[in-house]
Amino acid sequence: MTRYVTGRILSLLFVMWIVSMVTFAMMHAVPGGPFDETKGRLPPAARENILRKYGLDKPYHVQYLNYMKNALRLDFGIPFSNPTATVTEVIVSRWRVTAQVGILTVLFAFGGGILMGVFAAYHQNSLVDNAVTFLAMLGVVIPSFVVALWLILIFAVRLDLVPMRGWSNSGECLIGDVAFCSDWILPVFAYCIGPMGVIGRYTRASIVDVMRQDYTRTARAKGVSERMLMFRHVLRNAQIPMITALATEVPNLMTGSIFIESTFSINGLGKYFVTSVFNRDYPMIMALFLLIAFLWSLTYLLSDLAYTWVDPRVRLGGAQAA
């Protein structure tokens, strides 16, 4: 087990290294540097000074080595577009907003999805089951920005119930006054419909599978109450596919959706990434890529470890196929 985890962590580090190299190379392959825009106005001496200040006058491999040396000490540099703060500070402040949307979305997506899934599995092939399956499919298939615009058209324009866009809580405290204002409703609902559908489908499928097993029939035959049966026997065994869904959805939701953030004008991480790419803000792009790649790899590792915890039959390492 220890050996397996060590191996996985080493491969995670290797992946991060490759990601950093490729991103760095791609960024610098982009024609035009971050200070080209002001080239006409800046005297050459001043431009040289700026380039020297940010270390952009050095050869690429030196720049990369410098960056990585600092990054290992968790110093990701200073964003070109906002030189009064560090990259870490900018990311943290943007991420607060994204995380608020993310936490609410995770809550609704998992709550709603699991409820829907359990209900649909319990009343199989009923009208409700079909409706849930269809809704889940709608949520999975239709892009979030399409759903977002429909919600805006219905609830903000037509009915005028909720604000159309904006996010009043700038992120000083994590949930804060979210409960008292209504501008979170549309973004969170537009965002959570897709994941809710995925989770609903997963839940339904895994519960249906467990309900077909012999031990469920045995439990029913020996007279376990339906509620007991559901919680003690079925849900417990149906956990594994749910953990898969949990593991793949959470990092996604917590890093935010570019589409939702740009539809609803929320100043979060995703929206900032697009701006950074177009400003050629090297330190920001690097840091965001490393952060998201790290989160992804880490959640995959953690979800694999969670399997062994939930289901002792799963053994990691050894004759692993992929």
Query: 317-320: which pairs have CB atoms within 8 A and are 24 or more residues apart?
Result: 317/1, 317/3, 317/4, 317/7
Of 15 and 247, which has the nearer Cβ to another protein?
A: 15
Structure tokens at 57: 């006058």
Please, what is the minimum distance in Å from the beta carbon of residue 158 to another protein?
8
d(CA 307, CA 313): 9
Please, what is the minimum distance in Å from the beta carbon of residue 34 to another protein?
13
Please, what is the minimum distance in Å from the beta carbon of residue 29 to another protein?
6
Please, what is the minimum distance in Å from the beta carbon of residue 223 to another protein?
33
Of 51 and 258, which has the nearer Cβ to another protein?
A: 258
Residues in the site for another protein, rule: CB under 8 A? 11, 15, 18-19, 22-23, 26-27, 29-30, 137-138, 140-143, 145-146, 149-150, 152-153, 157, 164, 255, 258-259, 262-263, 273-274, 277-278, 285, 288-289, 292-293, 296-297, 322
Angstrom CA distances, 262 to 201, 255, 265, 273, stand at 28, 14, 5, 11
d(CA 271, CA 106): 20
| Residue that has been written with the tokens 């990434």 in this structure | 273
Please, what is the minimum distance in Å from the beta carbon of residue 26 to another protein?
6
Angstrom CA distances, 64 to 33, 59, 69, 290, 306, stand at 16, 9, 9, 14, 36
Of 178 and 288, which has the nearer Cβ to another protein?
A: 288
Contact call for residues 307 and 241 (beta carbons, < 8 A): no
Of 167 and 234, which has the nearer Cβ to another protein?
A: 167
Of 132 and 230, which has the nearer Cβ to another protein?
A: 132
Of 206 and 276, which has the nearer Cβ to another protein?
A: 276
d(CA 268, CA 276): 12
- Alpha helices of the chain — where are they, by DSSP H? 2-29, 44-53, 60-72, 87-122, 127-141, 144-151, 185-211, 214-221, 226-228, 235-237, 239-254, 258-263, 269-279, 282-310
Of 98 and 297, which has the nearer Cβ to another protein?
A: 297
Please, what is the minimum distance in Å from the beta carbon of residue 48 to another protein?
26
Please, what is the minimum distance in Å from the beta carbon of residue 110 to another protein?
22
d(CA 298, CA 12): 8
**Residue 37: helix, strand or coil by DSSP?**
coil
